[in-house]
Amino acid sequence: MTPEKLVELAKEAMAHAYVPYSGYKVGAALLCADGTVYQGCNIENAAYGPTNCAERTAFFKAVYDGHRAFTAIAVVGGKDGAVDGIFPPCGVCRQVMREFCGDDFMIYLGHAGGYQPLTLAELLPYSFSPSYMA
Ligand code: THU
């Protein structure tokens, strides 16, 4: 699996977004350590708070299926599904990544011209991790 292909799968996932309130379609493609890919989209709610981001949809689908080890995630988003600049993961999604992933987990932020690679350590420095609960 290449970063480029993972970004393509994230773009494909945008089509599944349920966004009657913001209009921002977001797609994610999560690569498991065994090579399986889980796609996710954002799912909004009239009460706003229960909205689930694309990244967490992908993670929760994978975890439900028994996956606990992950290599990378690609994320793309934009108004009405138009991808222009990057659409970075929110703080809650970064923390969900940290629950299962280490410093070297890769995040590929897709944009019109390609993708920006970042490590989880770059995206969430000085993070609170499961190790603090040991
Ligand atoms: N959103 C995501 O899906 N992922 C993020 O990490 C940031 C925000 C969604 C939530 C909401 O449906 C829309 O983008 C606008 O905030």
SS3 5: helix
Ligand 1 in contact with 74 (CB < 6 A)? no
**Nearest atom of ligand 1 to the alpha carbon of 54:** 3
**What does the block give as tokens for 93?**
């999604």
**Structural domain boundaries, residue 23:** 3-133
In which band, very low, low, confident or very high, does the pLDDT at 134 lie, cut at 50, 70 and 90?
confident
**CATH number for the domain harbouring residue 67:** 3.40.140.10
Q: Which two tokens stand for residue 110?
A: 């897709």
Number of domains comprising the chain: 1
Across the range 23-44, mean pLDDT stands at 98
Residue recorded with tokens 């969430």: 124
pTM of the model: 0.97
Q: What confidence category does residue 10 fall into, taking pLDDT thresholds of 50, 70 and 90?
A: very high
Give the Cα separation of 55 and 44 in Å (integer): 13
